[in-house]
A and B are shown apart, each in its own frame.
Chain A
Amino acid sequence: MNRSLIISSVLHLSLIFITAMSLPFLAKKPLDIPPIVSVELIQIAEKTNIPFAPKAKKTIEEVKEKEKKLVSEQAPPKKVEKTKTKTVVTPDQNNKKIENQKPDAIPLPEKTIKKIKTKEEKKQNPDKIDTKVKQVSEFEKKDLIDELEIAALIDKKKKDSAKVVKKNNDVTQDQDRSVENTGLTLSEEDALKAQIFGCWSVPLGLPYNEDLLVRIKLKLKPDGSVIKTEILDHARMNKPGQGFYKVLAESALRALKLCQPLRVPSTGYERWKELQFNFDAKEMLGG
């Protein structure tokens, strides 16, 4: 009797001990959850673009390189003018600095970017540019582009030397894209997304093993109301066996209508007067 009591209490004590030992582990676990990426991203201010994640950056660089080739080969003289009128240009003094920087450097803010006080400059609020991307392109440029060739294309009226213009050109071309890339900052995009999320009633009956992406192009007024909507894969609407696509597209259109006026940024109408929304119901229905 006594013996079994002792055994029992010893075993129970050991059980309690084991439990107690394992408790701190349990308590710790929640802390191990990896930090959510979005926190990192949202920190980056209202206007700037976000630094790319290292992996993504690499890929981007690779793709950029390819694109660059294409652009440089094809770039007609007209483009130079266009870019000039369009946006930010970095002056030559800064270019050297940029060149000296290591490609891995974290994008620097405004310091390296200056407005050129040329007459062509029209934009008062140029978007800030991710310098890193710029650098990369600058880098490549050297190998890829024959300076003279480009110089020959440049408008003679310019006070700047051919070389400088060429460099500007490089930069602006890149910036050109960057500006478009920048598009909406994450916070702006988030606001817009959150709004649409609330408006979009996903048709629950859609076959979730099908392609459920509807792309809709919008023209917007400055106040965010929709002028025009266009379904990009319109042909698919009437394909046999794709009846669900029409339903999906209609639900997306309803969402946009319901959400009017869209929560667009207060500035930079030119950037977002046209927007493309990609509605994808897959995650909602399949996951």
Chain B
Amino acid sequence: MIRKFIILLLIVFPFKAFALIEVDITRGNLNPLPIAVSPLAIDEKSKKNFENILQIEDIGYEISNIVENNLKTSGLFNPLNKDAFLQAPDIANLKPRFEDWNLIKAQALITGKVNLVDEKLRVEFRLWDVLAAKEMMALAFTTVPNNWRRVGHIISDKVYERLTGEKGYFDTRIIYVAEEGPKTQRIKKLAIMDQDGFNNKFLTLGNELVLTPRFNPTSQMVTYLSYFKNMPRVYLLDIETGTQEVVGDFPGMTFAPRFSPDGKKIIMSFAKDGKSDIFTMDLENRIVERITNHPSIDTSPSYSPDGKYITFNSDRSGYQQIYIMNSDGTDIKRISFGNGLYGTPVWSPRGDLIAFTKLHKGKFYIGVMRTDGSGERLLTENYYQEAPSWSPNGRVLIFYRETKTNAKGEGFSAKLWSIDLTGYNERKIKTPTDASDPSWSSLLSN
């Protein structure tokens, strides 16, 4: 590659250089960008008012902490230690002294201020390019005070988008299965929380087993598997109203549900007589359509973001492998050919990759491959982990992992983890209980 490149360079160089010497820069570093998040300024009066309303001492500081934490966990930014800041936060309306920020090696700077205006929280913030000494972005939000955490997430998204060129994923939520109790009698509940683990809420009581919740594109509805009355069926839950209903009227187990990208259909597996096939149900007219028909197990279907294709898991070759087909079930092609078993394919929201779980020689891997099966990359290896779900920008995967709590392999703990496509930035996401089967919502605001 390098050799080719040099030859190419030699060919092109002399003639292009007729006017000017050219230097080709094809490499850079992937070091996180040093960024200074100055605490948002707040006047004494507003500060007191917020203290009364929210019981938070300094909301400006707290919001900037959310931003800082988000940017840090993305792995793309390196928020600098606030102790090193030379300028106080009360410069929100002024142009920063860029030399000062340059001195602590910040390349970008976030400043802003918080007010209470008509009982509402008003946040202004600016993003500065320290090296170019210019403003990159200035925005203001107004919302009810209780939404203050979301403001922090929205600012993070805006900054992320402005500096990386793709949408962020911070103003999002995770739905997952909260787990408690011994493995043989595990109690499972649906739970929802902010992407950073805050605002955790349980959605079911744990009376029956629930599995594999997944958001619809607007993040208002969830489809999941419930063992209500010992009949494992796919259900639909409205998060706002809490209403639940069973999806379709199948004479057997339905499982592995997901929404279509337009949110109008649910695609799932239906198991009968030892074979599992893929079906869709239209949520408006309730029409059920068969997609696959094969004596093997066909499960874990996932649509491409344009809705034209479906990737799914099948053992028609004898073992679990990943396939793709047209959304009407025609033109079925196997795409996974590596050693081991492949499961849980999930199409990236960008459309270019499929994430999967791979089992090989007693290890579980989370990986991605292109939609034709080429370019397989394993991001993380562990004793047991599965069920990746994409962040809405297609950069980060959330999954769950079980680890043994003692050497005998008796106790165990299940937690949510995230990893980005580079495979380096792996993080545990804190949850109040054990957790599994995460599903990432879309961006709540745009």
Tell me the A residues contacting B by CB distance below 8 Å: 36-38, 41, 50, 52-53, 55-56, 59-60, 63, 67, 177-178, 180-181, 183-184, 189, 192-193, 196-207, 209, 217, 243-244, 246-248, 250-255, 257-258, 271-272, 274-284, 287
Contact = CB atoms under 8 A, between A and B. Distances in A.
Given A56-B10, A253-B132, A276-B20, A284 B165 contact: no
Contacts of B166: 205-207, 244
B446 interface: no
- Which 8 pairs from chain A and chain B are nearest by CB? A200-B28, A205-B164, A205-B166, A247-B165, A244-B165, A183-B21, A202-B28, A181-B14
A277 B23 contact: yes
Counting chain A CB atoms within 10 Å of each CB, the highest count among B2, B29, B32 belongs to B29
B393 to A, nearest CB: 7
A56 B5 CA distance: 12
Contacts of B15: 63, 67
A38 B5 CA distance: 11
B94 interface: no
B25 A180 contact: no
Contact of A255 (B1, B28, B30, B393): B28
A250 B14 CA distance: 28
A56 B1 CA distance: 16
Contacts of B309: none
Contacts of A178: 14
A254 B132 contact: yes
A287 B377 CA distance: 12
B131 to A, nearest CB: 4
A177 B22 contact: no
Nearest to B421: A204
B109 to A, nearest CB: 13
B82 interface: no
A202 B11 contact: no
A198 B28 CA distance: 6
A158 B159 CA distance: 66
Given A53-B10, A204-B76, A184 B21 contact: yes
B44 to A, nearest CB: 37
A248 B28 CA distance: 12
Counting chain B CB atoms within 10 Å of each CB, the highest count among A205, A252, A272 belongs to A205
20 contacts: A36-B3, A56-B7, A178-B14, A180-B18, A181-B14, A196-B28, A197-B28, A197-B29, A201-B31, A202-B28, A202-B30, A204-B164, A205-B164, A246-B165, A250-B136, A252-B25, A254-B131, A275-B22, A277-B22, A280-B26
B368 to A, nearest CB: 13
Given A56-B11, A248-B165, A180 B24 contact: no
Nearest to B425: A204
A120 to B, nearest CB: 22
Contacts of B6: 37-38, 41
B17 A200 contact: no
B25 A193 contact: yes
B17 A180 contact: yes
B33 interface: yes
Contacts of B14: 60, 177-178, 181
A72 B107 CA distance: 51
B77 to A, nearest CB: 10
Contacts of B27: 193, 197, 200, 283-284
Interface in B188-220: none
Interface in B337-370: 350, 352
Nearest to A189: B23
Contacts of B378: none
Contacts of A274: 20-21
Nearest to A243: B165
Contacts of B132: 250, 253-254, 257
Interface string B418-443: 00001000000000000000000000
A255 B28 CA distance: 9
Contacts of A201: 28-33, 107
B395 interface: yes
A37 B2 contact: yes
A206 B7 contact: no
A133 to B, nearest CB: 8
A198 B26 contact: no
A38 to B, nearest CB: 7
A178 B287 CA distance: 73
B23 A254 contact: no
B7 A55 contact: yes
B393 A205 contact: yes
A67 B131 CA distance: 42
B43 to A, nearest CB: 33
Contacts of A207: 165-166, 350
A272 B21 CA distance: 7
Nearest to A179: B17
A67 B17 CA distance: 14
